Amino acid sequence: MGKISKGTKCSVNGCDEDAVRSIDIGKVKEAGLDAEGAKRAYLCKAHYKDYKKGSKKSSQIERWRHSG
């Protein structure tokens, strides 16, 4: 049983929603979200969507780097 299923709140400052995803804190900060935590950031549905939008460019570059 993980932390999300136990009812962990979103790690983004000012948000009090329940978390749905757990992501490395470094990647979350690179995407431009103001999150706090030691190793993992717990994101609610809305902030996970913002994370995906913010990390789209870097994930595309990673895919190009590893292809071919």
pLDDT at 54 over 90: yes
Q: What is the pLDDT of residue 68?
A: 67
Segment among 22-26, 43-47, 52-56, 57-61 with least mean pLDDT: 57-61
Tokens of 59: 């994930």
Distance from C-alpha of 65 to C-alpha of 20, rounded to nearest angstrom: 29
Q: If 0-12 CB within 10 Å is exposed, 13-18 middle and 19+ buried, where does residue 37 land? A: middle
Question: Predicted confidence band at 58 (pLDDT cuts at 50, 70, 90)?
Answer: confident
